[in-house]
Amino acid sequence: MSVVVSAKGVEKKFGDFTAVKNTTLNIRQGECFGLLGPNGAGKSTFINMLYGVVRRTSGELKIFHMDPNIESRSIKKRVGVVTQENALDESLTVWENMMIYAAFLSIPREKRKDQIDSLLKFMNLDHKKEANIRHLSGGMRRRLVFVRALMGNPEFIVLDEPTTGLDPAVRHLLWGKVKELKNRGCTILLTTHYMHEAEVLCDRLVIMNKGDVIAEGTPKELINKYTPGYVAVYSAQKTTEEQINSLSTKKPNFLFSKDSTGFHLRAPTLKDLIDSRQEITSEPDQIRPANLEDVFLKTTGQELSADD
């Protein structure tokens, strides 16, 4: 399978501060690749280096075999980007913003109108085409930035938190579109703070923390490696930490952690958890398979274990 993006030891320093450290990864043609990590991990900085908005400090970076430090303009024409900040011209209308971008991409004049019309329809924005950007809701702006990135049918699409601020129905609509783009052979780089979204869309992903890539794999591989099994969530109002923790001490393959949602007990199988219910006076609020959110909290050190 051919590689669309290859990064070897990529680094970005802002003065003395290193925002992206020694990052090595490959994005294969036709996959949806996820870039996850806490706020400030370096995700947007990496994305910005990829299409030449930010110049990397060192390392090798290629997209379509081009170096973004040198060929940024050609890259921008082949990549659709949903930036984290909307970057729309506030003084213009929806239609005018789309037309400017169509001109930048050198889409033939006679094709612009039809393409913009169909893109706006797709995200239910056609009734807003004469509206000024500043009169759009936050979710509508996000939808507009998304469809603008699809203009000219790019082979590679970068989505930096594309669904932030979208209502659940529109978010699902966008997921459907991302899957459709993938089925057409498009390669996608996705950043999101919604772990379920990453699980639904990403073939492979990396987790970054403080500029470093700390984990890499398919969602399933990451769950199996870092947080295999099932999780029972107990409410802090209904049970005590000691009760849950003592169970995890007695059973070596049980793991205890806690967060604002309550106490978590993770065990290798569903049966282990169900069998252990008699030893705890209250019923769990939830029993579920371990998910990418568990992996995220564990690998980024944000999960509190019994020892903290």
Ligand X SMILES: Nc1ncnc2c1ncn2[C@@H]1O[C@H](COP(=O)(O)OP(=O)(O)OP(=O)(O)O)[C@@H](O)[C@H]1O
Handedness of CA 220, 224, 227, 229 (dihedral sign): positive
Q: Which of 18, 10, 12, 44 is nearest to 210 (CA)?
A: 18
Residue holding tokens 């329809």?
121
Calculate the CA dihedral of residues 74, 77, 81, 87 and round it to 10 degrees. Answer: 100
Q: How far apart are CA 269 and CA 286, in angstroms?
A: 15
> Which residue in the block uniquely carries the two structure tokens 């371990």?
290
- Give the one residue of 44, 97, 163, 299 binding ligand X; rule: CB under 6 A: 44
Task: Please enumerate in sequence order all residues whose Cβ is within 8 A of that of 59, keeping only pairs 6 or more positions apart, or say none.
Answer: 7, 8, 9, 10, 11, 22, 23
Among 9, 14, 77, 109, binds ligand X (CB under 6 A): 14
The site for ligand X, by CB under 6 A, has a size of: 11
**Residue 306 has which token pair?**
């019994």
Binding to ligand X in span 189-248, by CB under 6 A: none
Query: Which of these ranges, 73-81, 82-90, 139-147, 279-287, lies near Mg ion under the rule CB under 5 A?
Result: 82-90
Can you tell me which of 10, 36, 41, 147 binds ligand X, judged by CB under 6 A?
41
Q: In the complex with ligand X, which residue's Cβ is closer, 85 or 242?
A: 85
For ligand X, which stretch binds (CB under 6 A), given 39-47, 68-76, 107-115, 118-126? 39-47
Q: How far is CA 209 from the centre of its chain?
A: 14
Contact flag: residue 302 with ligand X (CB under 6 A):
no
Give the shortest CB-116-to-ligand X separation in angstroms. Answer: 29
Q: Name the binder of 162 from ligand X, Mg ion, none, CB < 5-8 A by kind.
A: none
Residues 42-61 close enough to bind Mg ion by CB under 5 A? 43-44
The region of 33-41, 163-171, 176-184, 239-247 touching ligand X under the rule CB under 6 A is: 33-41
SS3 74: helix
Cβ at position 48, least distance to ligand X in Å: 8
If one counts every other C-beta atom within 10 angstroms of the C-beta of residue 238, the result is 14
Tell me, residue by residue from 47 to 86, as one string, x for binding to ligand X by CB under 6 A and - for no binding: -------------------------------------x--
Write out the H or E segment, with its range, that includes residue 245. Answer: helix 241-250
Greatest CA separation found in the chain? 72
CB of residue 23 to ligand X, shortest distance in Å: 11
- Interface with ligand X, residue 42, by CB under 6 A: yes
39 in contact with ligand X (CB under 6 A): yes
CB of 67 to Mg ion, least distance (A): 23
Among 23, 45, 115, 299, binds ligand X (CB under 6 A): 45
Tokens at residue 290, please?
Answer: 């371990």
43 counts as binding ligand X under rule CB under 6 A: yes
CB of residue 249 vs ligand X: minimum separation in angstroms?
A: 36
Cβ atoms 82, 90 nearer than 8 A: no
84 lies in the site for Mg ion, by CB under 5 A: yes
- DSSP run (H or E) holding 104: helix 94-104
Q: Say what angle helices 138-149 and 109-122 make with each other, to 10 degrees.
A: 140
Give the position of tokens 């669309």.
4
Q: Which of 34, 37, 52, 162 binds ligand X (CB under 6 A)?
A: 37
Residues 6 and 66: their CA atoms lie apart, in Å, by 10
Nearest residue (CB) to Mg ion, 47 versus 297: 47
Q: Which residues bind ligand X (CB under 6 A)?
A: 14, 19, 37, 39-45, 84
Q: Which residues bind Mg ion (CB under 5 A)?
A: 43-44, 84
